[in-house]
Every structure is written in structure tokens, then in C-alpha cells.
Structure 1
Amino acid sequence: MTSSDRLTWNIAEWIVDQQQRPLPERMDHHVRRLLLDHLAGVVASSPGAVSGAVGEHVHRMYPGTTATAIGHGRSSALGAALINGTNGHGIETDEGYTPGSMHPTSVIFPAVFAVAQEKGISGDRVLTAAAIGMELSCRIAAAGHPATRNRHFHNTAIAGVFGAAAAVAVLLELDVTGVANTLGIAGSHASGLFEFLGQSAEIKRFHPGKAARDGITSADLAQAGLTGPTTILEGKDGYFAAYAGVEGTDWDPGILLGGLGEEWVLLGTYVKPYPCCRHLHGAIDAALHLVNTHTIDPADIASVIVGTFAIATRHAGRQLDTILQAQLSLPFTVAVALLRGGVTLTDFSEDTRSNIAVQALMNKVQVVLDDAADAAYPKSGRPADVTVVMNDGTRYQHRVEQPYGEPSNPLSDSDLEGKARALVEPVIGADGTKNLIESSWNFDSLEFLDFLDSAVRNADPR
């Protein structure tokens, strides 16, 4: 088994070494895919109420002009990272990394973009910093998952702050000691609890923004001379001891270090086809398969049984007062899939949540633990099994091992562009969406962020 000795220092040395190397062609393309997916979510989220609340806070507490908060004008770097990170996670469209159950883009890109704008940095250096930060956050999350989630922490925030700090350290060109101190400081910022689940608590959306902001703060403080514990990851009172538990039982340094510098686990990130929690997607896929291959009259359904892994079974809420509650509900999303043959952003509206037919079918959906699925997650899949039982006793069943969008079942580039258009055109129109897509694929500077900001604030879709 890989030893955790010098774990934080080994990571710091990798960060400094990796930034000197160009991204492999496949990785470069993948980062641009993630950029497009991220920016589409940010733009689509920016007119929302949560974005408005955080924007009000930022304009009051983080005034400035050095960075762009899309939909909210110029702000300080900390303020822009806070808003853009919140919006990246604002409508549950952001990608993720299954082995770590976390969403790296909504933390890392906002931190990198804010500091890059402030420092006048552009081009490949920005993408390299983002790639390093996302890679690290995925590895840290995977090394402690599911123990961290079982201890009630939100991996996106607690692992993401290390990735954001590392990415900003790259932009600031800190040496190995500076990076190690940056990570040590970031550990004191790692936070985010799962108590939002099942409630109307929109703080979930804020977690990536907070982690992005705190990652910037960590690197900036290290550059200024503040020191942090350089055993923050492996120490007896460090991150993994506090958030996961016992080395070798609850967390594995081998997952964090294995292939580091040679293999990019970030290539294993998925892209979401549906705007809701990823734990729900396998069941949605299975339900859609059934309605597309059988003649099923929803009015004749007696019951629906969804078998899945333990963490997903926690998403069985039926209270639908808010969009967030619906986006975290297996019974609701499976009912929508069976009734409407798809799950889109508009399906989370108040009209749909209160629809009599949707609610009636939702109440027939039972979520149960599937032992085989639980054994598979998170190492080999996110399985879900859906059985639809009709009033006459007929049963239709389908099992999904990996939901659509995973690397083994990926969205094509064209499908990704289609997702972006569906999210963004209602906000900034077809021309603005075209600019976003082209700027993501051809990324070489951050000038287009001000265009997106202006387009959102002066939205008049054509």
C-alpha cells in the first residue's frame, strides 16, 4: 500500500513540476469541454434568485473592478470567484467525478479566471492551472470517498478548496514551499455540510463559490508569507484524519498519488445530460429506456421500484417546495421521465412540481437499496435498476450500470454544444450562445467574460 509519508510535500512538488509541461492534446480538449459546460451553467444560473442574493452580498462586501462576475458586472477577484462559483453549481448542470462524488469546475474555473484577470494572465497558462487544480481536487475527493460523505461533508467544497488553492498557486508561480503552505492554509478553509439535503437550503449552491474564494485567499496568504501546516493532508490532526478517518480503511493515499504526473484522472469526469443531482441519472436513464422501448401508459402504472446504491437512496424526498428539492429527488425525476419522456430544466418549474399527474406517479415510486449497486459504487459505476409494475401485473425492468455522460457512455462534442444551447439561448440568445461556444473551444484569453456579463445583464434573446 502507498505510504502517506510526505504526502503534502509530494503533491506540492507535483504541482510545481506539472505546470512546466504542456497539457497532452487529449487533456487540452477535455478541459475545453469542461469549460464550455461550466460557462453554460454559469450563464443559465446568473439571472436566478440565489445568484441575485450572492451578487448583492458581493457588491456590498467585495467591491472592485479587477474581475468579471458574469451577470453582475465587475468585482474584486474574491467577489467574482464567489459569484461565478455559486452560479456554476446553481442549477445542477455541472459535470462531476464519480469516484470522488464532486464537481471540480465550479470551484476551480472561477478561482483561476478571477486571479488571471487580476494579474493579466491568459492562454495556455490559465488552462494548465485549471487542469492541475481540477486534477488535485478529484484525487483528494476520491481518496476519501465515501467516508467523507458518510461523515456528512460535501466533497465539492472540502476537496475543491485544495484544488482552487493549487491552481492559484500555479498562477502566482509559488515554489514548492509556497505551494505546501498554500495547501496547509487551504485545509483550514475546507468546509461544507450536507444538511441542506431534503430542505429548502440553497446554501448548497454557495459551497463551490466559497471554496473558490477561499482557494484564492489561501494562495494569496502564502505568497504574503503566512505559513500553514505542511502535513495538512496526512497529519494526525489533518484533513483526512478529520474528514475521512483511518488511513487504509477510510482513505487511501494510493488513490491520491497513483499515476500522478503520468495519468490524468480528470479525463474520467462526466458531463450531465439532465439538470439534477448525478445520483439520480442512472434511474432516469433506466426509466427513459423503458418508456422508449415499451408501450407504457403512466395512468396504468401501479408502482415503480428504484433500486440503487446507499448514498443515492438518501435522495428519496417528496417535498417539492423548491427547485433544489426536486433536483435532489429520485421519486420526482423518475416520475417526470416516465410521464414526459425526458428531464429538462423546465421540468423543475413550480407548475411541474405541483402537477397532479406528476405528484400521483411520484408517490408510487419506491426507492430501495440494491446490494449489487452499493458494492459497485463508487469504484465501478453508479448503478440503478428500475422496475415498473402495471395494474395488470405486467413488469418492465431495466438496469443501468453507468449513466449517460460517463466516460464509458459519453456525451459527444455536438451533444455538449446542444446542451449549452438549451441552457444559454433563453438567456442571451443564439448569437451570444454562439460566441460562448466558440470562445470555449478556441480559448486563448478571458476577454469574452465581459461580453458574457454584458449579454446577461442586457438580455434580449433573439
Structure 2
Amino acid sequence: MPPAFHDFAAALTYDDLPEAVLAVLRRSFLDTMGVAAAASTTPMSDIARNCAMALFGTGQAGGSRILMNGATVSPAGAAMAGAFTVDSIDAHDGSSPCKGHAGAAVFPAMLALSDIRGEMKGSDFAVLLAIAYEVSYRAGLAQHATCAEYHTSGAWTAVGVATAAARALDCTADQIRHAAGIGEYHGPRSQMMRCIDHPTMLRDGVGWGAPSGVTAAYLAQMGFTGAPALTCEQAPEYWHDLGKAWRLVEDTHYKPYPCCRWAHPAMDAAGDLMRDHGLTHRQIARVDIKTFHNATRLAGHRPATADEFAYAIAFPVAAMIVRGQVGARELTPSTLRDPEILRVSNATQLIDDPHFTSMSDGKRWAQVTLTLTDGTEITSSPRTPRGDTDLPLSDAEISEKFHLFADPVLGRARAREIETLCRHFDSLAENDFARLRDLCLTPVDRHVPAI
């Protein structure tokens, strides 16, 4: 019999973590901090920080610094502001089988708990991350299998964050069990398709999933009861190999582009067609994107904000065709008004394909046809996006993305130091890990205009 999830969380040690798990955590640490750096310049991040400072003052638990900002608030406030910050640019790691993201909630929450504790080795932090990711992913799979409605990542990351946060607070296995139940019950069961149909700053729900999980852990430590977490205790098929297999290794993907994962296979296909055929955007008369049903609801031919860009396909694909890349620069207001990108975007049609819908369970499929001004049609093969475990981004590509996002905001020297420490964070002694934590939590130097 596998251990109960709360016994697993209470007993897990650094020596129990396979190298493959540590490799994913190192990559996710670096990738998430790059996204956080660029995201710290967004209006959504500013609002979340100001709200945290207004409503989440420090109390008996002490103060935690807000990610990439340094302002001190409660641990729940730091988790909230940090999670909203990372989620404000849709470029963080994710899980296609879970149809969502863990790192955007996990890192802000665990850094907040680490900041409260102060003395912590990198190996201790790795254990917390592993618990939070693994429980989040398994709870997410169970929730999607047992709930008719498609809920955001905040719903299931609340469970994983609660479990790991309770471990960080030295709770007993029974208290950890109650923390997960509290986090699941009070976590945000927010409707993902609502934000896709009507894009706003609500995003993926992690802004409330992270503080819900942190708050649940403190409640459980104080004796508040809330077990069971149904996703952890009444869906055994998703927990039978806990401690033997690792979902975070099998399922974690990385994004090359700052927009919804559902748009990525079409963006990759369009970019490859442009490069392989030596085309320029002026040769493109029409774009047809055949993809799965939910992806067609992204639409987004003329996004007016970065939030609308994040949940679009037509415009990001057009940006790829015109500029050959889609990075943080493509989220700026001037890009959203680019007349050539808008021309191609308006000439783009999304086709709801039942076959791709049937195939897109745990994968994301699309096929692109470019019609040239001379009438020639060029069609890609059906494909899934880069960054999945079967088409992984290399360490060099993760590094390039990190510096693309982080350097203009943090400066090259600070970004390089973060990268160096993230590459082996789990082996850092207390002082060195404290240095990495400081680099992630202190204010940024805004070398470039806000996104």
C-alpha cells in the first residue's frame, strides 16, 4: 500500500528525492523567477501588491517579503501578491494533464514560508517544493476526473500549497491532513472557461489558491479541522503510486511563449512554416488554424490588453508570423497596435476540429495552413507544442528565456547570480540559500518601461 498523502508529506526527506525530481525543480525555480521578474512590472502585479500591503499586514506569524518587491506583509499576503505577479504573464511552467499550472502558486507560497522561517537549507526548500508540486498535480488530476466543471489551477494548488506549508510549519501528519482538507474546501473553485471567454486579470486562480493554502496550514497548526480532502482521499487511482512515481517529472512542461498553452502548437507550426519556406509576413494573405474545441474559444483577433493577449490564438500566431518571436516585448501596448500583426490576425480563421478535440486529452494539437498572396497554400503537419516532455526545451533554451525576461528588469549581474544559484539550489547551505531568497524577494530595478 502506498503511504497516505499526509504521511508522505510528513516523512519525505531530501534523500528520498530522485535526481529527475531535483532536475525539474531546478529548472522550474529558474524559469519561474525569470517570469516573475518581467511580471513584476505589470499593472496586475502592482494592484496585487498594493492590495496585499493594504489588507495583509504582519501579525503574530511575522512578515514575509513580496516576490521581486521586498515589501513585508503576512505570509498569506506575500503568497497572494507573488502568485498574482507570476500569473500576470502566462509564461510559467504547467501540466497539460492537469490543464493548468503549479509553480505560479507554489514558489511564491514556499518562498513566503521560507522567509518566515529564515534559517533553511536548499535541501529543505527542495522537499517543500516536491511536496507542493506532487500533491498539487495529483489533486488536480483527481479534481478534473471527478468534477464536471473545469476549474482553475487555484483550486488544486490550494491543496498542494496547504500540504507543503503545513510541513514547513512542522505540523504533524494529522495536522497536514486537515490543512489539505481546509485548503481544498476554501480554495477557489473558479471557472477557467469564464476567463478564456472574457479575459481579465482573474487569470488562473492561483492568486487565491496560494494564500488559501498558506492560511489553511496556519489554521490546521492551531487546531482547526477540515479533513478529508476529497481529491486526496476519495480518488485512489491517482495516489496508488505516490512515492514511487513522480507526476511532476512526467507532466511538467515549460513555455517558450507568454500566452495560453493552447495557442502554442499553432504558434510553433506557423513559425516553422515561415522559416522552412523562407517567407515574409507580407506574403501571408490568410491563416487557417485547425485545433481542438476549447482552443477555438481563445480567439483574440484584436486584444486590447495583455490579459486578452494571454487568452488568444489569432494574435499571438500573427505576432509569430510578423516578428518571428513572441516574448515579453510582444505584450506591450505598441505591439497590440502593430498594423501588420493586426492585418494577419484579422485574416486568421480558427477551425473547431472534432478529431483534434478527441486527441487533446493531456496533449494540445493544432495544424496551420498559410495561404500566400499568390494563392499558394502551405500546410503544416499536425503537432503538439514544444516544451512538453516529449519535445522538451533544452537547458540552454530555458536559460535564454530566463535572461530574455529577467535581464531588462533585474540587470545582467543579478540575473546571472540567480541562475547560478538556481542551478544547484538544493545543495546550498543556509547562508547561500538565504542569498538566493534575497535575490528573489528584494525590489527590482526597472531598467525598462513597465509591460
Tell me if TM exceeds 0.5: yes
Amino acid in the other structure paired with 2:33 = L
Matched, 1:301 2:301: no
Matched, 1:398 2:380: yes
Partner of 2:300: 317
With 47-56 and 445-454 compared, the bigger mean Cα shift is at 445-454
Q: Structure 2 vs 1, CA of residues 145 and 389 (structure 1 numbering), >3 Å: closer, same or farther?
A: farther
Matched, 1:29 2:26: no
Whether the 8 Å contact between 2:258 and 2:327 is mirrored in structure 1 is yes
Partner of 2:50: 56
Q: Which residues of 2 match residues 355-374 of structure 1 at below 5 A?
A: 355-374=338-357
Q: Deviation at 1:378?
A: 2.3
**Any idea what the Cα deviations from partners look like across 1:187-218, whole Å, max 9, x if unmatched?**
2222123322243521226x213211111111
Q: Structure 2 vs 1, CA of residues 84 and 376 (structure 1 numbering), >3 Å: closer, same or farther?
A: same
CA distance in structure 1 between the aligned counterparts of 2:302 and 2:196, rounded to whole angstroms: 11
**Any idea what the Cα deviations from partners look like across 1:402-440, whole Å, max 9, x if unmatched?**
311111111111211111111011111111111111121
Q: Secondary structure at the match of 2:244?
A: coil
Amino acid in the other structure paired with 1:431 = A
CA distance in structure 2 between the aligned counterparts of 1:172 and 1:400, rounded to whole angstroms: 48
Matched, 1:274 2:257: yes
Superposed CA RMSD in Å reads 2.3
Q: Which residues of 2 match residues 408-447 of structure 1 at below 5 A?
A: 408-443=390-425, 444=428, 445-447=433-435
Q: Structure 2 vs 1, CA of residues 200 and 262 (structure 1 numbering), >3 Å: closer, same or farther?
A: closer
Amino acid in the other structure paired with 1:26 = A
Aligned residue pairs, count: 434
Alignment TM-score, normalising by the size of structure 2? 0.90
Q: Which residues of 2 match residues 207-286 of structure 1 at below 5 A?
A: 207-230=205-228, 232-233=230-231, 253-254=236-237, 256-267=238-249, 268-286=251-269
Amino acid in the other structure paired with 1:71 = N
With 405-414 and 446-455 compared, the bigger mean Cα shift is at 446-455
CA distance in structure 2 between the aligned counterparts of 1:440 and 1:326, rounded to whole angstroms: 30
CA distance in structure 2 between the aligned counterparts of 1:72 and 1:173, rounded to whole angstroms: 25
Q: Deviation at 1:134?
A: 0.6
Q: Secondary structure at the match of 1:100?
A: coil
**Any idea what the Cα deviations from partners look like across 1:158-196, whole Å, max 9, x if unmatched?**
111001001112212322321221111112222123322
Q: Secondary structure at the match of 2:375?
A: coil
Whether the 8 Å contact between 2:316 and 2:326 is mirrored in structure 1 is yes
Q: Structure 2 vs 1, CA of residues 412 and 234 (structure 1 numbering), >3 Å: closer, same or farther?
A: closer
Partner of 2:335: 352
Q: Secondary structure at the match of 1:321?
A: coil
CA distance in structure 2 between the aligned counterparts of 1:392 and 1:163, rounded to whole angstroms: 54
Partner of 2:127: 128
**Any idea what the Cα deviations from partners look like across 1:14-56, whole Å, max 9, x if unmatched?**
3234347531122112101101111111121112211111111
Whether the 8 Å contact between 1:283 and 1:400 is mirrored in structure 2 is no
Q: Deviation at 1:276?
A: 0.9
Amino acid in the other structure paired with 2:162 = A
Whether the 8 Å contact between 1:285 and 1:400 is mirrored in structure 2 is no
Whether the 8 Å contact between 1:47 and 1:71 is mirrored in structure 2 is no
Matched, 1:103 2:101: yes
Whether the 8 Å contact between 1:432 and 1:452 is mirrored in structure 2 is no
CA distance in structure 2 between the aligned counterparts of 1:365 and 1:269, rounded to whole angstroms: 30
Whether the 8 Å contact between 1:270 and 1:410 is mirrored in structure 2 is yes
**Which consecutive residues of structure 2, in runs of 5 or more, have no partner in the other structure?**
none
Q: Structure 2 vs 1, CA of residues 372 and 19 (structure 1 numbering), >3 Å: closer, same or farther?
A: farther
Query: Among the aligned pairs, what percent are the same residue?
Result: 25
**Which consecutive residues of structure 1, in runs of 5 or more, have no partner in the other structure?**
1-5, 241-251
CA distance in structure 1 between the aligned counterparts of 2:412 and 2:46, rounded to whole angstroms: 24
Q: Structure 2 vs 1, CA of residues 20 and 286 (structure 1 numbering), >3 Å: closer, same or farther?
A: closer
Partner of 2:167: 170
Q: Deviation at 1:341?
A: 1.6
Partner of 1:41: 35
Whether the 8 Å contact between 2:94 and 2:253 is mirrored in structure 1 is yes
Amino acid in the other structure paired with 1:85 = A
